[in-house]
Chains A and B, each alone.
Chain A
Amino acid sequence: MRYYLYKFSMFGITLVMVSLIIFFVFQLLPGNPAQIILGLDADEQQVRHLEQELGLDKPAIERYIDWIAGVFQGDLGESLRYQLPVSEVLADRIPVTTSIAILATVLTVVIGIPLGILIARTDGKIISVFLSMITQLGISIPSFWFGFMLILLFSVTLNWVTSFEYVSWSDDFFGALRSHFLPSLSIAISNIAIVIRYLRNTILDQRKMDYVRTATCKGLSERAVLYGHVLKNALIPVITIMGLITADTLGGSIIIENVFALPGLGSLLIQSITSRDFPLVQSMVLYIAVIVLVINFTVDLLYKLIDPRIRQKG
């Protein structure tokens, strides 16, 4: 109980720190949102007027306090560019990025973990060198390239998927699955390669441990030793990597969203930074920080679940 209380107070402190840092960094950026909205031709009078309307004429500290007080009341403020509540803008974008992230994570786990085990099992054979080279390529090649290749293969050559149109889950489930699948896969490919390499290495490391020798001397087959003894130990560090990967995808990918013309968080973040849409940027950064904290917390819980040594310390 004390552990959770401690965790949650740390959450709060981290979030306030993050919002403070991003607010003051943002103040250092040149450019005036009112000017950007009105365009370069607007005269000073108009700009002044809009600034007053948007509350930009108040001192920075006051604006920050106004905003953070709003956040505590569940009000993220109003986007300067869209002239809409930030929560509404985000509510449009978050489901897109989240479903892609979830699908990509599922693909990473479902493909990466079995392949990692498989490659660890072929260790020492020629095929393992070949497979290592493929995973190396998977890590080195940027995901947008996979995106282009997948579009080329599935929609141009095979004509299976008509990309470039976004279908939401509530409209048409299978249509949505189709429109989410390729971007998720292109994000997943390099993550799969990372998981494969990582899992392979931890399995090979774990295989050298004394408890493996003990298990072998009980008469267990190589397979039984791998699945019954090695895997649980080898997955512990993989959970950390999976946490990092998941947090990263939940924040949205600018490039993949552009390749597949998806209305996700990545593109929104870039747009809101270029238009100096402070309330929107601030809220998005806060959202990403919350995600990272939640994922880290989940990773901690998973650790406790899988590793009795950590369970006791907590």
Chain B
Amino acid sequence: MAPLLSVQALDVAFQLPEGEFLALENISFHIYPNEVVGIVGESGCGKSLTSQAIMGILPGVASIKHGNISFQGCSLNDLSSREWQELRGNELTMIFQEPMTSLNPVLTIGRQIAEVLKKHTSLSKIERKQQVIKTMNEVGLPRAEALWKAYPHQLSGGMRQRVSIAMALISRPKLMIADEPTTALDVTIQSQILDLFQTIKQNHSTSLLFISHDLGVIQAVCDQVIVMYAGRIVEQGKVEKLISEPKHPYTQSLIQSIPDATKRGQRLYTIPGTVPHLQERQVGCPFSNRCTYKLKQCETSFPDTYEFDDGHTVACHLFAKEGDGN
């Protein structure tokens, strides 16, 4: 089966006054139809930047330096702005983290959702409204008729996030990108929204790229997981496999830091140190200064990617076979 989205050897650089810095390096992954792929990593790992590169909404100082992103077999790199407009909101949609600010405060909910249909379909005003009400019901927004005329400030955070999901879902996209869709919500709402994603996964033939810093959340919705660290992919594989047999020391630490019932009463594991800043990244493996298994070569070269069964890959010197290490 051909992948829906292919990211190949993607490098994204930031032009800063101090010079040019690679924020994403050699990012490659695929998303197949109906697949839910998660990207996990701490803040500053390049998760959101990856999603922005796919949507073509990189901030002004960032640009694609190398590599290719293709969607349904077409390269997105040289799309004209008109072609982008056709694609965005239609076959490729996105949900953002901040439900408080991602909706326009002075426009009604109904108008903001219906706008997607106005742009991408030739439905009449009445048909659009019917479609919006249907989608609002589907994402669990009660009293859709009344909410049609409401403004964002009248809704709770969870409801606003449902509105964002309705906006992203209404055009029946091929791929939805959800950038930390549950992070800003409190825990009970978070689990309701995760349930909603599960329902969407079952009822729609849409692929989903789900970005989160929380491996627990990723585990709940994703088929495939990509672990990112300091702008690199360090491990990817099937979610069960990656959780049960994590290879990379960073993935292992992330799993150790998920709270669960068996760890009750114990001090929760935290990874010492922080992600190196963009300007502070050095040669070698960026995780080496936080890694308990650090080898000599970790400081001098970034490891190759080693493949295990079932497409499980890891970029770590620990897995170098004899003879091909430095």
* A interface residues (Cβ-Cβ under 8 A, vs B): 209-211, 213-222, 224, 228-229, 232-233, 236, 306-309, 312
Contact = CB atoms under 8 A, between A and B. Distances in A.
Contact of A218 (B81, B89, B105, B106): B89
A232 B107 contact: yes
19 contacts: A210-B101, A213-B102, A217-B57, A217-B89, A218-B88, A218-B115, A218-B167, A219-B84, A219-B86, A219-B88, A219-B90, A219-B119, A221-B82, A222-B81, A224-B119, A228-B115, A308-B105, A308-B151, A308-B153
Contacts of B107: 229, 232
Contact of B153 (A228, A229, A232, A312): A312
Contacts of B151: 308-309
Nearest to B84: A219
A217 B93 contact: yes
* Interface residues of A, dominant DSSP: helix
A199 to B, nearest CB: 16
Contacts of A307: 105-106
A236 B105 CA distance: 12
B89 A309 contact: no
B88 A214 contact: no
A216 B88 contact: yes
Contacts, number: 76
Given A210-B101, A229-B104, A233-B105, A217 B88 contact: yes
B119 A217 contact: no
A306 B107 CA distance: 9
A138 to B, nearest CB: 29
Interface in B78-135: 81-82, 84-90, 93-94, 96, 98, 101-107, 115-116, 119-120
Nearest to A235: B106
B85 A220 contact: yes
Given A217-B89, A232-B107, A210 B154 contact: no
Interface string B51-64: 00001010000000
Given A214-B96, A219-B90, A232-B106, 8 more contacts: A213-B102, A217-B94, A218-B119, A219-B86, A233-B104, A233-B106, A308-B151, A312-B153
B105 A219 contact: no
Interface string B131-155: 0000000000000000000010110
B106 A219 contact: no
Interface string B151-187: 1011000000000100100000000000000000000
A219 B81 contact: no
Nearest to B116: A218
Contacts of B81: 221-222
A219 B85 contact: yes
Closest 4 CB pairs of A and B: A219-B89, A218-B89, A308-B151, A210-B101
Contacts of B120: 219
B125 to A, nearest CB: 16
A209 B107 CA distance: 15
A312 B154 CA distance: 9
Contacts of B57: 213, 216-217
Given A214-B164, A219-B120, A221-B81, A309 B96 contact: no
